Amino acid sequence: MFFAPVELSEQRRDEMVEQAAQAVVRRRLESPALVALEMTPLSVIGANLVMLSTPLAGPFLGWRFCDELAFFMMDRSNVARLAKRIEALAAGSSSNPQPATRNHASEGPAR
């Protein structure tokens, strides 16, 4: 690891969880994300892939971010926190359904 501290602070970990969960829910990808997060070896494999791709992705995403992401994914409890936060945000957003949009194609020709 190049730039990240040996361990993520709780504050940074919580920021990463919140940002990732909000991005997943905003894109309505809760189900695929939760399935992927529940796959146990994914966190270890993902952390290793992040470390492997850091020399290529680092200049674009930031060296520190790549290192923090690898540290984040190495700890299975962080992945569990992320899954719980996605579930909580998805439950909150499903209680506020979007207003129905009118389907103008089924109304027939305009007069």
Instruction: Please state the pTM of the whole predicted model.
Output: 0.73
* Token digits of residue 82: 């992320």
* Token digits of residue 97: 């359904």
Residue 13 above 60 pLDDT? yes
Q: How is the chain split into domains, by residue range?
A: 12-95
Model pLDDT for residues 39-92, shown as the tens digit of each residue: 867 778 888 898 899 899 999 999 888 889 988 988 889 999 999 999 999 998
Given pLDDT bands bounded at 50, 70 and 90, which one contains residue 14?
very high
